[in-house]
């Protein structure tokens, strides 16, 4: 039954009276003005609530999951309930932990997550009665002390675990020589609220979690025992199709359907992925209408046309039952001798690449297909094909920021869901490992410096850029340690099994914590939920109708 929040003026006043805050009268106020001349003129002072009493009352309320002005309960009251009773008149902001909405007229800020209130912040004037030196004598030492500092705040946060469900946080300015005993700025009552995705994660076994970190290549043009084992026994997160998996339109659809059917017993649907960029990188059956190269799109310099290209790509994949496309290519074609990118790139101008690839990405998304932008931090200035050997780009971070990183920054600002990391050695950033295995590049640069919060995926780990220099299973483990969420092993199911086993051994030996695994699996769950992926079977494609639709889009 939905918890309904009732917050009215009478309720707020009742709470204030209960706390005794309304009893703080001036000493000159009289109880009654109706006295006879014969009665003595007795003036009574209303009792003032002490800081200790006020602290104890706030703790009492916190143990029940509330604050003085809030009749709801943290962890139980819905966001909808707050919206029905209160009108937000301040800012609303999205953070990593939840959505925070300001209610200045209520002296409150409410944090919601997963549709529930989890953080209630109260900043009433009555808190000015409580000072820094009042807290510890009344409450004892805090369970945890944190600090917060920005351009306008330099604060202490004293955290008390008032019961197993709730924390009470006291936020006050740091004491200084001029203000050694500052008053409390605000309080917060906090409880843990799991999102739907976190609840799904908590129910998964370690084997189910580890499998989600892999997208695997499969053999043949129909499901076989090795493919079944990858899905049913090793719980892989997804599959990738290549040209050798594709024959006719009907065969392709039935193959995808059979893999989805094999996944029915697993907690999450499969990523069904393929390289469908257009031009020479097109894996769908030959009967499907061709899509122009990235370079051809770039020459038009037309954002609407680029969007239509993305829509066409997404429409093609969606019809065949695929839900993930390894496109578009964000590499800037700055090296004319590049043997692997060439006309896959939209332009040698990073601004053109940015504008057109983002539109292509949005077109793919419109068809409920997940675009994977690639190849971070930029494969355009390489002279070696990473399928054959490990390329080396001796550029500084500043040089990358002036060219290669520009499209990726644009993609991050446009909420790209997945970024693929290349097998490129950048010794100015990491002398030892290629980008796909590099913590300085994946975690320090992409996650922290560029602020990317989506899924990070490696390029195919069976490419010789990796296998000529590293053991594949060890490379997969190292990539996860460096910050990757998904490892792509596009050929030979046995290699995927070996990598999963190596990762499981790394967790068992505490080389990698299960918490680190959970971070990646949660991102994967969130992505699959965002696109509402399902393992539903797909009908055979009407090729003539599909091609006609594509041709109309591309005119």
Q: What is the dihedral of CA 359, 360, 365, 370, to 10 degrees?
A: -130
Judge whether residue 379 has pLDDT over 80. no
pLDDT the model gives residue 385: 56
Last residue of a domain, one of 195, 227, 244: 195
pTM of the model: 0.79
Q: Are residues 180 and 230 in the same domain?
A: no
Nearest by Cα to 307 from 297, 296, 316, 319? 297
pLDDT the model gives residue 469: 87
Tokens of 267: 């907690």
pLDDT the model gives residue 194: 87
Cα atoms found within 13 Å of the Cα of residue 311, Cβ hemisphere only: 13
Q: Are residues 168 and 216 in the same domain?
A: no
272, β-bridge pairs = 239
Judge whether residue 88 has pLDDT over 90. no
Last residue of a domain, one of 149, 167, 195: 195
- Does residue 370 lie in a domain region? yes
Give the active site residues: 387, 459
Instruction: Tell me the pLDDT of the chain averaged across its residues.
Output: 88
Share of the chain above pLDDT 70, in %: 89
Which conformational region is residue 219 in: left (phi greater than 0), alpha (psi within -120 to 50 degrees), or beta?
beta
Q: Are residues 304 and 264 in the same domain?
A: yes
Last residue of a domain, one of 139, 164, 195: 195
CATH number for the domain including 352? 3.20.20.300
pLDDT category at 69 given cuts 50, 70, 90 is: confident
pLDDT digit string (tens) for 36-52? 444 455 455 556 789 99
pLDDT digit string (tens) for 141-179? 999 999 998 888 899 999 999 999 999 999 999 999 999
Judge whether residue 93 has pLDDT over 60. yes
Angle at which helix 514-530 crosses helix 472-482, to 10 degrees, equals 80
Q: Are residues 432 and 396 in the same domain?
A: yes
- Does residue 431 lie in a domain region? yes
Find the distance separating the first CA and the last CA of the chain, reported in whole Å: 53
Angle at which helix 493-508 crosses helix 472-482, to 10 degrees, equals 50
Least confident of 22-31, 73-82, 191-200: 22-31
CA distances (Å), 246 to each of 275, 443, 493, in order? 12, 36, 17
Q: Calculate mean pLDDT across residues 180-209.
A: 94
- Does residue 157 lie in a domain region? yes
Beta-carbon count within 10 A of 538 CB: 17
Tell me how far apart the alpha carbons of residues 554 and 291 are, in angstroms, rounded to a whole number: 9
Q: Are residues 156 and 227 in the same domain?
A: no
Q: Are residues 162 and 232 in the same domain?
A: no
Residue ranges with strand state E in 183-258: 186-190, 214-217, 238-241
Residues 6 or more apart whose Cβ sits within 8 Å of residue 442: 421, 435, 436, 456, 479, 482, 483, 484
- Does residue 1 lie in a domain region? no
Q: Are residues 244 and 302 in the same domain?
A: yes
Q: Are residues 102 and 242 in the same domain?
A: no
Q: Can you tell me whether residue 157 is helix, strand or coil?
A: strand
Q: Are residues 231 and 145 in the same domain?
A: no
Beta-carbon count within 10 A of 248 CB: 14
Q: Calculate mean pLDDT across residues 483-491.
A: 96
**Residue numbers of the domain that contains 173:** 9-28+48-195
Q: Calculate mean pLDDT across residues 64-93.
A: 88
pLDDT the model gives residue 45: 55
pLDDT the model gives residue 340: 67
Split into its structural domains, the chain has a count of 2
Return the higher-pLDDT residue of 4 and 75: 75
Judge whether residue 348 has pLDDT over 60. yes
| Residue whose token pair is 């590099």 | 438
- Does residue 203 lie in a domain region? no
Judge whether residue 388 has pLDDT over 70. no
Q: Are residues 248 and 391 in the same domain?
A: yes
- Does residue 271 lie in a domain region? yes
Spatial contact of 411 and 361, defined as CB atoms under 8 Å apart: yes
Judge whether residue 481 has pLDDT over 60. yes
Return the higher-pLDDT residue of 13 and 490: 490
Tokens of 98: 């939840």
- Does residue 503 lie in a domain region? no
Q: Using CB atoms within 10 A of its CB, is residue 527 exposed (0-12), middle (13-18) or buried (19+)?
A: buried
Least confident of 85-99, 102-116, 380-394, 526-540: 380-394
Q: Are residues 301 and 375 in the same domain?
A: yes
Q: Calculate mean pLDDT across residues 186-205.
A: 93
Spatial contact of 435 and 441, defined as CB atoms under 8 Å apart: yes
Judge whether residue 14 has pLDDT over 90. no
- Does residue 361 lie in a domain region? yes
Q: Are residues 170 and 311 in the same domain?
A: no
């Amino acid at each position: 039954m939905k918890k309904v929040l009732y917050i009215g003026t009478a309720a707020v006043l009742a709470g204030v009276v209960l706390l005794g805050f309304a009893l703080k009268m001036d000493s000159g106020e009289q109880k009654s003005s109706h006295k006879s001349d014969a009665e003595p003129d007795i003036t009574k002072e209303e009792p003032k609530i002490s800081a200790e009493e006020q602290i104890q009352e706030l703790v009492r309320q916190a143990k029940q999951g509330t604050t003085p002005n809030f009749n709801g309960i943290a962890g139980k009251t819905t966001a909808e309930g707050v919206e029905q009773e209160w009108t937000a008149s301040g800012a609303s902001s999205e953070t990593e932990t939840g959505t925070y909405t300001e209610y200045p007229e209520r002296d409150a800020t409410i944090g919601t997550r997963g549709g529930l209130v989890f953080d209630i912040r109260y900043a009433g004037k009555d808190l000015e009665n409580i000072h820094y030196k009042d807290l510890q004598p009344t409450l004892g030492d805090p369970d945890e002390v944190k600090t917060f500092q920005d351009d306008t705040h330099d604060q202490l946060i004293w955290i008390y675990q008032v019961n197993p469900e709730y924390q009470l946080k006291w936020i006050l300015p740091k004491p200084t020589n001029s203000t050694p005993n500052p008053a409390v700025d605000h309080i917060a009552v906090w409880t843990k609220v799991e999102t739907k995705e976190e609840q799904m994660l908590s129910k998964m076994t370690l084997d189910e979690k580890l499998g989600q970190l892999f997208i695997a290549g499969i053999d043949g043009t129909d499901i076989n025992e090795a493919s079944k084992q990858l899905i049913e026994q090793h719980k892989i997160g997804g599959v990738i199709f290549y040209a050798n998996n594709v024959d006719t339109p009907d065969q392709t659809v039935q193959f995808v359907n059979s893999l989805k059917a094999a996944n029915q017993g697993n907690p999450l649907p499969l990523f069904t992925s393929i390289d469908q960029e257009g031009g020479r990188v097109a894996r769908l059956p030959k009967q499907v209408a061709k899509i122009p190269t990235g370079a051809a799109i770039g020459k038009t310099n037309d954002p609407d046309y680029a969007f239509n290209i993305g829509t066409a790509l997404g429409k093609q994949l969606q019809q065949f039952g695929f839900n993930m496309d390894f496109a578009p290519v964000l590499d800037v074609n700055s090296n004319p001798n590049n043997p692997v990118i060439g006309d896959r790139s939209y332009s040698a101008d990073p601004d053109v690449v940015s504008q057109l690839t983002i539109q292509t990405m949005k077109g793919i998304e419109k068809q409920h297909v997940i675009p994977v932008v690639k190849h971070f931090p930029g494969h355009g200035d390489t002279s070696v094909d990473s399928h054959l050997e490990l390329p080396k780009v001796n550029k500084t971070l500043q040089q990358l920021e002036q060219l290669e990183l520009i499209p990726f920054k644009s993609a991050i600002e446009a909420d790209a869901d997945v970024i693929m990391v290349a097998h490129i050695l950048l010794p100015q950033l990491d002398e030892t490992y290629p980008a796909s295995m590099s913590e300085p590049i994946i975690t320090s640069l992409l996650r922290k410096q560029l602020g990317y919060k989506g899924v990070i995926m490696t390029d195919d780990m069976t490419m010789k850029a990796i296998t000529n220099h590293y053991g594949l299973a060890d490379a997969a483990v190292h990539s996860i340690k460096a910050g990757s969420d998904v490892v792509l092993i596009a050929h030979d199911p046995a290699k995927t099994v070996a990598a999963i086993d190596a990762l499981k051994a790394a967790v068992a030996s505490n080389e990698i914590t299960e918490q680190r695994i959970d971070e990646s699996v949660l991102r994967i769950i969130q992505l699959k939920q965002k696109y509402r992926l399902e393992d539903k079977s797909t009908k055979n494609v009407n090729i003539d109708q599909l091609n006609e639709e594509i041709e109309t889009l591309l005119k």
